[in-house]
Amino acid sequence: GNSVTQMEGPVTLSEEAFLTINCTYTATGYPSLFWYVQYPGEGLQLLLKATKADDKGSNKGFEATYRKETTSFHLEKGSVQVSDSAVYFCALIGSGNTGKLIFGQGTTLQVKP
Amino acid sequence: EPEVTQTPSHQVTQMGQEVILRCVPISNHLYFYWYRQILGQKVEFLVSFYNNEISEKSEIFDDQFSVERPDGSNFTLKIRSTKLEDSAMYFCASSEDRTPGNTIYFGEGSWLTVV
């Protein structure tokens, strides 16, 4: 079945450091890929998405590229801020698109001033 | 920006009691979902709902669970007889349609603690 694997956390960075959170997936066909973020005390918010191979999703300085050859959707940001401290979830919806999101386990990011 | 709202934000209940979690999806959305996250574990799909019926449910969504859209705005999740292992954060979500890459919007969650 479909699955998503994220790198283990927590990830602790200093402000302005470069961020990469790895995400790989297993799916048949052509899933859509998502990154959701959960700030402390809040719900899940869509950060960015990509629907086909080689698409790049971007938002708030974050980027991720849909790589079908490596089945990956790694999240990157060139310069993190303290306000980026949150839990980041990689997720997919299978090509049948039933609306059922399959989530990774989440990666906690802590950015220190 | 329109948002999905959930009540209560936190509920403590005794084992065996019935619980109803409430949600108001985004007004023009047609697809509704419940997900849950047990502390320290992945966010898991429970059920999807469209046109007043369940369109898909997971293995977790057994006979103890039910969903309902009692009026034009609310979407509820009922747990008939709660167990300790039902303690989790429950997220309601909605989407406008199911085209590829369509965004699913989540509420802030309802923390359920079963004691």
| DSSP secondary structure string for all residues of A68-112 | TTTTB--EEESS--GGG-EEEEEEEE-TT--S-EEE---EEEEEE
Residue A98 has pLDDT above 90, yes or no: no
Average pLDDT over residues A41-54: 92
Q: Report, as an integer, the average pLDDT of B18-25.
A: 97
Least confidently predicted of A45-49, A56-60, B51-55, B69-73:
B69-73
Asked if residue B32 has pLDDT above 80, the reply is: yes
pLDDT tens digits for B67-99? 999 887 899 999 999 999 999 999 999 999 877
With contacts defined as CB-CB under 8 Å, which chain A residues touch B91?
43-44
Kindly tell me the number of DSSP H helices and DSSP E strands found in chain A.
Answer: 0, 12
Q: Is residue A22 a contact partner of residue A72, using CB atoms and an 8 Å limit?
A: yes
* Distance to chain A for B76, nearest Cα, Å: 18
Model pLDDT, residue B26: 94
What pLDDT, on a 0 to 100 scale, did the predictor assign at position B68?
Answer: 95
Distances in Å between the Cα of A34 and the Cα atoms of A24, A59, A84, A91, B3 are 12, 12, 17, 5, 19
Residues of chain B found within 8 Å of residue A51, distances taken between Cβ atoms: 100-101
Whole-number Cα distances in Å, A63 to A14, A84, A104, B1, B63: 19, 14, 18, 23, 41
Write down the pLDDT at residue A97. 67
Contact list, A43 vs chain B (CB under 8 Å): 4, 6, 91, 106-109
pLDDT over 80 at B2, yes or no: no
Residue B58 clears pLDDT 70, i.e. is over it: yes
Kindly state the average pLDDT of the residues A42-71: 95
CA–CA min distance B16, chain A (Å) = 28
